Amino acid sequence: MDRLALDVAHLFAGGLVLASFMLLYQDRMFGLLNIFALHALIVSLSVAWQAHIQLAPHLYVTAAIALVVKAIIIPVVLHRIIVRLGIHRTIETVGGIGQIMLAGIALVALSILVMLPITAQAGTLTREDLAFSLSVILLGLLMMISRRNAVSQVIGFMSIENGLILAATAAKGMPLVVEISVAFSIIIALIVVGIFLFRIRERFDTMDVHAMGRFRGGQP
Amino acid sequence: MELIVDALVQLVQLLLVLSIAPLLTGYVRKLKAHLQRRRGPPVLQPYRDLLKLIRKEAVLADNASWVFRTAPYAIFATTLIAAALVPTFATGLVFSPAADLIAIVALLGSARFALALAGLDVGTSFGGIGSSREMMIASLAEPAMLMIVFTVSLLAGSTQLSSVAAYVQGPELGLRVSLGMSLVALIIVAIAENARIPVDNPATHLELTMIHEAMILEYSGRHLAVIEAAASLKLLLYFSLIACMFAPWGLATAGQGFADFAIGVGSYIVKLAVGGFLLAVFETGTAKMRVFRVSDFLGAALMLGLLATLLLFVSQRG
Amino acid sequence: MALTILLSCVAILLATSALAVAGARKSATTFCVYSVALAVSVAALSIACWMLLTNPGSAATMQLPIGLPWLGAHFRLDVLAALFLVVINLGSLTASLYGLGYGRHEPTPGRVLPFFPAFLAGMNLVVLADDAFTFLLTWEFMSLTSWALVMAHHRDRDNAKAGHIYLVMASFGTLSLLLAFGLLAGPDGGYGFDAIRSATSSPGVSATVLALALIGAGSKAGLVPLHVWLPLAHPAAPSHVSALMSGVMTKVAVYAFVRIVFDLLGHPLWWWGAVVVTLGGISAVLGVLYALMEHDLKRLLAYHTVENIGIIFIGLGLALAFQGNDMPLAAALALTAALFHVFNHSVFKSLLFFGAGAVLTATGERDMEHLGGLIHRMPLTAIAFLAGSTAISALPPFNGFVSEWLTFQAILLSPKLPQWPLKFLVPAIGAMLALSAALAAGCFVKAFGATFLGRPRTSASQRAQETDAFSLTAMFILVLLCLIAGILPGYFIDALAPVTQQLLGAQLPAQEQLRWLTIVPIAESRSSYNGLLLFVLIATAGWLGAYVIHRWASHAVRRSAAWDCGFPDASPLTQYSAGSFAQPIRRVFGTLAFHAREQVYMPAPGDTQPARFHVSMRDLVWDSLYAPVERIVGFAADHFNKVQSWTIRAYLSLVFSSVVVLLAVLALWN
Amino acid sequence: MTEFGPILVMAILVLPIGSAALLALVPDTRATGHLNALASLLTFLVSTSLFFVRPEPGPFLIVDDVNVVFIVLTTFVAFTTSVFSSSYIAHELDTTRLTPTYLRFYHAMYQTLMFAMNLALLSNNVGLMWVAIELATLTTVLMVGLYRTPAALEAAWKYFILGSVGIALALFGTILVYLAASAVVGEGLDAMAWSVLVKRAASFDPHLLNLAFAFLLLGYGTKVGLVPLHAWLPDAHAEGPTPISAVLSGLLLNVALFAVLRFKMVMSANPGALAPGPLMVTLGLLSVLFAAFMLFRRHDIKRMFAYSSIEHMGIITFAFGMGGPLANFAGLLHMTFHSLTKSAIFFSVGHIAQIKGTQTMSEIRGLTVSHPVLGWGLVLGVMTIVGLPPMGIFMSEFLIITSTFPRQPVLAVALGLGLLLTLGALLLRLNGLAFGEPYGNEAPAQASFIPMFAHLGLVLAAGIFLPPALVSWFQYVAGLLG
């Protein structure tokens, strides 16, 4: 495998991590959506690239799904929802942006640290990709817990899923990748356009998960 | 033949204690009277009282049950047997294996148990006062007594009175601090158990101070007589107990000749006389204490007993 | 063969309880269940007695393909088991007999009948079990069934609370026994007792096992400070069950201790004895003090169980100390004393609980302050109860005295022990034993006096009726046993000889050939006791005295009012109550042991409101040991409970942080 | 005979999914409950045949010694639960808590859940298993939200979010396992097949395996409900329909734990990998102690038993973490007994809550007086779950503690105290529920008690006598678990 292939792959993976950082940093709803679209785009590109260099045509399907569903449909839908719910104001993050960025950097360092000793024989490509995808996953988790707003939590979750797709495609010749990505898209669909938001919409006037704490059962 | 003689001796002993117990009571009373510059009743007065009471009809409270009626005889019997088992003029009596020192203490305990129940039977408050205080005193006196038994039996290696007497008479007994302590403790216990001053005053009938008299307040006639007899038997018992454990000189042993028995009886009478005199002097010299100071009094006895036991270990070197 | 019959007896009992569930509604069930239990326990009793007296030397063993699959359930009948089977089945025999009468007053038989036979079965099985699993299974089964019986009258809030505390404490005990067996069996699970016997364990391990066994068996037996459940649970059950729990189940706990420490654990160390003896002494004194402060008749009896268990453990501890110093004969004496007291206590404690039950059914009262004068209404019960009180107060010529006398004899051997701590400790324990005996006498003067003597304090005790024939038979069988064991102790001591032989390799000299059935533990010159002779002498002396006086002096009797100091027709409430009886002892010991405080409120002259006298007492054991645990658990629960109301984000951050921590661990591990 | 094997296996999967489709279509509300039960019965009967027929492992499906008993257990509990559910749901209709539409949805989802769990157990492919467990999660999420009350929705939402995150972590772990395998086995399906993984695990890259196991443990551990990943579990149990609570506690937790066990086998087959024991022991002990304390402050009866499920999952994880033939054996035993017992408890709790019209424990009292059968059933169930003999759980807990104590005294004592605390808390509540003066509605229960007592009877019987076949199977699997 030639250098170029590697470098391009690394480029995409690194770009994904960068996008995750931008997600962490971004605190405006629409901006968040746009960056997420970018995130998804990068994923689909990297998957497509993997399909190209691994000569695995079925990965193109995955790339297509990623592109269509996550880069186009979902942002649009979310945009609608946000408008309908009228929450396109700036969203307060928990704790300052500064600490969150620091934490994010620490997470990336951790994931690289964890990945370094392994997969010596698995080839550099997968190792770097794994390190990057792991950091994407951790950053997504960090985003989920650093946002109070359900939509941004959903976006964080979707970025996690992008990281997983990245890892799955990085694993050379892994079967069922398509099925898995489809299954994941189902979850996403369920989360986003699924019954819950509507139910929650019709039950509560906010999607702030925090507010739902009031309805917790079992309290005296 | 041997057996018959033994039985005879045992019977003599039994009759002896039974007969001279009232005499001892009368003797002490007389001495106290003299010490208080009174003339006092004659020495034989207790016998007269007993006879008089026996012949009177017994008056029972309406509520009195069979416990009230049988208790006196139970008390009398247990006390008599206990007294008969303590060597007075001769050791190694035929019945002495039946009960060692612990058993004798326990026999007195049964007598007390019966008496306390009798005190509660009628359902007046006096009986209750007496019984509860009696049990409180006993609860302190019995451990003290047991400690004394320990000390003695650790020395003599036996709880059998005959063996104890033999040991104390024997040569290997030096002067023992612990023996002295346990003697003092035993005297305290004896005073408490026999309701003597300063724990209780046998002569009083002031309700709030009496213990023994409160329990038997309802008794009359023959029942009272039997109880009085038992009381004087108990006094005698403690005298002979002290004599046997701490001054066993002159005690005959079973199977010896008539002469030894005579010496034994003689020395026993002397011991009683001396003991009675000391008791009278002590009682005249001291005043009765509050009921709730009795616990300290007896606690001292308990401590002495314990101390005696521990000192024994120290002196014995294992 | 014998074992087969015993196990089939157990099977019959279990089947009976299964049937009782079905027929709980019918009225005939009560009679059937109790009579079956009666018959079965007679059979088991006779077999156990045969085993104990003939002593075939070899133990009968048996294995059933149940329980742990690769192990199976092992059962074994040796003389030790036989002895405790005698105790158990004697108790269950009389309890069933008593139940035939008592059970008819049961308001909800459906809550008693199914569990009664199961309870009996459980106790029998514990003694027969020969591997750790079967032992613990039956042990906890016994607790469970007795719990169900405690909960029979569950509508009373106190009973429910008692049941809860009981089951928690029982499981605590089982847990520590579990750990003990875990240590004995080792990591690869040699759960069979024979395997455990053959294994040798290091001193540290044995010490741990001893501690765990002490906790486990002690919590069931009611050893201070693990006794708190006992005075709550035992009285809560129906009286014949209370008798079984107090008189018999605590003995099963003693069996567990003996089995583990004397049989399985191997040669003891001297200081084990010191520990056990100390606990025993404390239990003996504290138990009787608790009892003296108690006005509830059944509670009082339960507390006396604590006292007697303490006495038993004193004996066991002495046996350990002697055995640890290779003084087998002395150890045999101490163990004999303990085992004999096991038997005696089971007899008179059942008797006393039966009496209390009779009083309870006759008056509906357990509080002694509301009783009194029952000796006129229930004379036979009174006689039985009096005999029981005399026996438990360790007064000759009854049986309680003999075992305590033997214990004293063992204590008197303590100077021969080489270790100084023991030399100093044991006499003090002796003093405590004497104290507890004297206090017990006082306590039962109070109990009998307040309940049966004096004048009835309430109309309930005025209208009381003598109890039924079944109950009386049961009681008088036990009275007879108390007397026999008291005046012919030699035979019983000889019956115990094979047990001490098996456990210690030594036994007391045979007693029955001695002249006039005197018992001589060591040597005639040292100490001896003859209950028969004393009994005969006292009886003759008493009878002679009465006869002579009645014959030649007066036997006239006149009834008249009691002396009232000139204040006529005082109400029965003015007589001495149980509380006032205990007052002097409370003043002497209570201030130290219970922080007893007395407040007197005396209104000013002319003020019409009544004067008040209030006594406050605190259970220091509870305050110092159990209350803190309660507080800690409550505190922790409250604080953990906050997690329940966190937000999803908080939960997510939990997940996140665990991921990060795990990764960090991995990174470090690499 | 073996040639029927694949057909049987397929039947186990097709029956549920087919009947799910059918149930979604059938409008008649009365029949559907029985239809549901019938379908589950058929599935159960088919699955029992697996004891005798052992088909060859295929690339996607496998029947081996590890999963066969779990399949039978799952289908059995599914069947009994469906029987209970038919009477339960009928009552829900009467009280109009459910509309017929939702009922059809419910039954369809029920069968889908069965399908998903059977698939997860049968799958020979890590990816397939992942998909199946995700499907199971989704269906249960929908069922938890069935009542559409704010509390129910919130519980479902919480379950959904946490579950999805767990799923994501598990997927990452799965990918890592594939990577580790593909380096040795070569790319393709073989690198995901259990039958291959366990055989070849010895030569996998240990570091990769460690990382994979960390993620799998956390991912599937979320489904198992291990503290601190447990947060969804109590609410999901409390707010959903009771049959679903029974299936959750009885089956889904087991299935997730089963996945963890599969991976533990791979781990223990690899000498270089770090021992999974300490991790599992820590999580297990944490769960036991945490749940024990949580039990003291519970007011909702279903939530309480949900916490007890957490505690028991903790015990099982602890046992497998300790490892060794005895502890593993005990763990498997405990899994079986717990799923039987806990579902039985939920059966009785469901009826009780329906009769009393509340789940608040302070409003339920004196059941043994007002409803003897239900009440004593509950008492028996609680006695079983706290591990009192002669019921089976006592045996497993006995083995766990006795085998742990000589090796790790502190851990054993901690576990024991946890069990003791649980017992104290549950019995305290039981006192209030089952005893004392009855309170609240005393209408007789029109319920089928057979499922409840069937389960308890099984546990009781097993506690006294374990069939040798089961024993040898457990011992074999315990050996595999290392």
The pLDDT tens digits of the residues spanning C55-88 come to 777 788 999 988 888 888 999 999 999 999 999 9
Q: Which residue of A has its CA nearest to C652?
A: A145
- By the 8 A CB rule, do C491 and C519 touch? no
Q: Three-state DSSP class for C611?
A: coil
pLDDT at D478 over 60: yes
Question: In Å, how far are C288, C329, C653 from A141, measured between CA atoms?
Answer: 65, 75, 8
Put simply, the answer to whether C575 touches B125 (Cβ < 8 Å) is yes
DSSP β-bridge partners for residue C128? none
DSSP string, D368-397: HHHSHHHHHHHHHHHHHHTT-TTSHHHHHH
Contact C167 D423 (CB under 8 A): yes
Q: Is D145 on the interface with A (CB under 8 A)?
A: yes
Residue D44 lies in a domain: no
Query: Cβ contacts (< 8 Å) between B120 and chain C: which residues?
Result: 445, 449-450, 453-454, 576, 581
Pick from C341, C161, C339: which is nearest to C258 by CA?
C339
Q: Which residues of C touch B59 (CB under 8 A)?
A: 557-560
Q: Cβ atoms within 10 A of the Cβ of D428, count?
A: 16
- Which of C263-277, C425-439, D438-452 shows the lowest per-residue confidence on average (mean pLDDT)? D438-452
Question: Which residues lie below 8 Å from residue C183, measured CB to CB, with a gap of 6+?
Answer: C201, C205, C208, C209, C212, D405, D406
**What pLDDT is stored for residue A2 in this prediction?**
66
Residue C151 DSSP symbol: G
Nearest CA in chain C to A215: C645
Longest dimension (CA), chain C: 108
C67 touches chain D (CB under 8 A): yes
Size of interface B-C (CB pairs under 8 A): 278
Question: Closest Cα partner for C308 from C262, C250, C240, C225?
Answer: C250
Q: Is C549 within 8 Å of B222 when comparing Cβ atoms?
A: yes
pLDDT in tens, B190-212: 999 998 888 888 777 666 667 88
Residues C378 and C206: their CA atoms lie apart, in Å, by 53
Which residues 4-63 of C have a C-beta within 8 angstroms of B? none
- What's the mean pLDDT in A142-157? 83
Tokens 């957490």 belong to D310
The residue in chain C having the minimum alpha-carbon distance to the alpha carbon of residue D465 is C66
Q: What is the pLDDT of residue A206?
A: 41
Strand bridging mode C73-77 / C60-64: antiparallel
Q: Which residues of D touch A122 (CB under 8 A)?
A: 179, 183, 205, 208
Does A194 score more than 60 pLDDT? no
| A175 vs D155, D179, D188: nearest CB | D188
Instruction: State whether A110 and C667 contact (CB < 8 Å).
Output: yes
Which residue from D324, D389, D436 is facing C155, i.e. has the nearest CB? D436
Contact call for D388 and C140, based on CB within 8 A: yes
Nearest Cα to Cα of residue D239 among D384, D359, D93: D359
* pLDDT of the residue at A215: 44
C663 vs A94, A114, A116: nearest CB: A114
- Residue at A157: amino acid letter: F
Across the interface, which of A107, A141, A213 has its CB nearest the CB of C645? A213
A neighbour chains, 3+ CB pairs within 8 Å: C, D
CA atoms within 13 A on the CB side of C173: 33
User: Which residues of chain C make contact with D326, given a CB cutoff of 8 A?
Assistant: 187-189
Domain positions in chain C: 1-240
Q: What's phi and psi for A108, nearest 5 deg?
A: -60, -45
Which of B248-252, C37-41, D124-128 has the least mean pLDDT?
B248-252
The pLDDT-based confidence of A31 (bands split at 50, 70, 90) is confident
- Across the interface, do C585 and B135 touch by the CB < 8 Å criterion? yes
Total count of domains within chain B: 1
Tens of pLDDT, residue by residue over D144-172, are 988 888 888 888 888 988 898 999 999 99
Burial of B171 per CB tally in 10 Å (0-12, 13-18, 19+):
exposed
Residue identified by tokens 């409250």 is C638
Please write the tens of the pLDDT for every residue from B59-71.
999 889 999 999 9
D161/C637 Cβ within 8 A: no
Contacts of C151 in chain D (CB under 8 A): 435
Closest CA to C619 of C598, C595, C585: C595
D31 at the A interface (CB within 8 A)?
A: no
User: Cα(C122)–Cα(C505) distance, rounded to whole angstroms?
Assistant: 30
State residue A205's pLDDT score. 35
Q: Are D124 and D191 in contact (CB under 8 A)?
A: no
Q: Please give the Cα distance from C282 to C287 (Å, whole number).
A: 8
Structure tokens at B75: 């008390």
b/e sequence C112-146, b meaning 16+ C-beta within 10 Å: bbbbbbbbbbbbbbbbbbbbbbbbbbbbbbbbbbb
Cross-chain Cβ contact D188/A173 below 8 Å = yes
pLDDT in the model for residue A91:
63
Helices and strands in chain A: count of H runs, count of E runs:
10, 0
Q: Name the domain count of chain D.
A: 1
pLDDT value of position A199:
43
How many other CB atoms are found less than 10 A from the CB of residue D48?
Answer: 13
**Average pLDDT, rounded, for chain C:** 92
Where are the alpha helices (H) located in C453-561, listed in sequence order? 459-462, 469-487, 489-504, 531-552
**Chain B residues with CB-CB distance to C487 below 8 A:** none
Residues linked to residue C598 through DSSP beta bridges, in sequence order: C615
Token representation of residue C236:
């809560």
Mean pLDDT of the residues in chain B = 88
User: Which of A119, A133, A135 to probe the D interface (max D CBs under 10 A)?
Assistant: A119
Question: With an 8 Å Cβ cutoff, are C178 and D402 in contact?
Answer: yes
- HEC readout, D268-318: HHCCCCCCCHHHHHHHHHHHHHHHHHHHCCCCEHHHHHHHHHHHHHHHHHH
Contact present, D211 and D318 (Cβ < 8 Å) = no
Q: Name every chain A residue with its beta carbon within 8 A of the beta carbon of C663.
A: 110-111, 114
Rounded to an integer, what distance in angstroms lies between the CA atom of residue C557 and that of residue C552? 15
Chain C and chain D touch, per 3+ beta carbon pairs within 8 A: yes
Which chains are adjacent to chain C, needing at least 3 Cβ pairs under 8 Å?
Answer: A, B, D
pLDDT score recorded for residue B214: 86
Helix or strand holding residue C613 (H, E): strand C612-616
CB nearest to C667's CB, from A94, A113, A216: A113
Query: Is the pLDDT assigned to residue B159 strictly greater than 50?
Result: yes
Is chain B adjacent to chain D, meaning 3+ CB pairs within 8 angstroms? no
* DSSP code per residue over chain B: -HHHHHHHHHHHHHHHHHHHHHHHHHHHHHHHHHHTT-----TTHHHHHHHHHHHSPEEEETT--HHHHHHHHHHHHHHHHHHHHS-SSEES-TTGGG--HHHHHHHHHHHHHHHHHHHHHS--HHHHHHHHHHHHHHHHHHHHHHHHHHHHHHHHT-S-HHHHHHHHHSTT----HHHHHHHHHHHHHHHHHTT-TTT--TT---GGG-SHHHHTTT--HHHHHHHHHHHHHHHHHHHHHHHHHH--TT-EETT--HHHHHHHHHHHHHHHHHHHHHHHHHHHHS-PPPGGGHHHHHHHHHHHHHHHHHHHHHHHT-
Chain A residues whose beta carbon lies within 8 Å of the beta carbon of residue C656: 138, 141-142, 144-145
Give the pLDDT confidence score for residue C606 in this predicted structure.
Answer: 86
**Cβ <8 Å between C564 and B59:** no
Which of left, alpha, beta for C577 (phi over 0: left; psi -120 to 50: alpha)? Answer: beta
Domain presence at residue D104: no
With beta carbons less than 8 A apart as the criterion, state whether D339 and D251 touch. Answer: yes
For A147, name the nearest residue in chain C, comparing CA atoms only: C649
Q: Nearest Cβ partner of D187 from A173, A203, A218?
A: A173
Enumerate residues 568 to 627 of chain C having a beta carbon within 8 A of any beta carbon in chain B: 572, 574-576, 580-585, 587-588
With bands split at pLDDT 50, 70 and 90, how would you rate the model's confidence at B318?
A: very low
* Yes or no, beta carbons of D235 and A216 under 8 Å apart: yes
Q: What is the pLDDT of residue A78?
A: 81
Tokens of B185: 């403790």
Q: How many CA atoms lie within 13 A of C424 on its CB side?
A: 7
Using alpha carbons, select from D78, D55, D14 the residue that is nearest to residue D455: D78
- Which pLDDT belongs to residue A74? 84
| Nearest alpha carbon to residue D163 among A208, A177, C652 | C652
Over residues C571-580, the mean pLDDT reads 86
Q: What is the chain A residue with the closest CA to D164? A: A187
Q: Are C349 and C425 in contact (CB under 8 A)?
A: no
Tokens of D116: 């998903």
Mean pLDDT (whole number) for D207-216: 90
Chains B and A touch, contact meaning at least 3 pairs of CB atoms under 8 angstroms apart: no
pLDDT for residue A207: 42
Average pLDDT over residues D200-223: 90
Residue B317 vs residue B311, higher pLDDT: B311
3-state secondary structure of A145: helix
CB-nearest to B73 from C390, C411, C545 is C545
pLDDT above 90: residue A87: no
Of B229, B232, B198, B204, the C-alpha closest to B217 is B204
- Picking from B124, B151, B189, B313 by the largest number of C CB atoms within 10 A of its own CB, the best residue to mutate is B124
d(Cα D395, Cα D463) in Å, to the nearest integer? 6
Mutate to test the interface with D, among A153, A197, A215, A219 (most CBs of D within 10 A): A215
Structural domain containing residue D308:
275-482
Confidence at residue D300, expressed as pLDDT on a 0 to 100 scale: 93
Return d(Cα B111, Cα B129) in angstroms, integer: 18
Q: Is C130 left (phi over 0), alpha (psi -120 to 50) or beta?
A: alpha
Question: Among C168, C182, C186, whose Cβ lies nearest the Cβ of D427?
Answer: C168
- Which residues in chain C are contacts of B57 at CB distance < 8 A? 554, 556-558
Instruction: Give the model confidence (pLDDT) of C238-275 as tens digits.
Output: 999 999 999 999 999 999 999 999 999 888 999 999 99
Among the partner residues C409, C562, C565, nearest to B63 by beta-carbon distance: C562
Is pLDDT above 80 for C217? yes
pLDDT at C477: 97
Tell me the HSE value of B212 on the side-chain side, using a 13 A CA sphere: 23
Report residue D393 as tokens: 């759980």
Beta bridge partners, C62, equal: C75
Cα dihedral A9/A11/A17/A20 (nearest 10): -110
Nearest CB to A164: which of D131, D155, D171?
D171
- Measured between CA atoms, the residue of chain A closest to residue D154 is A212
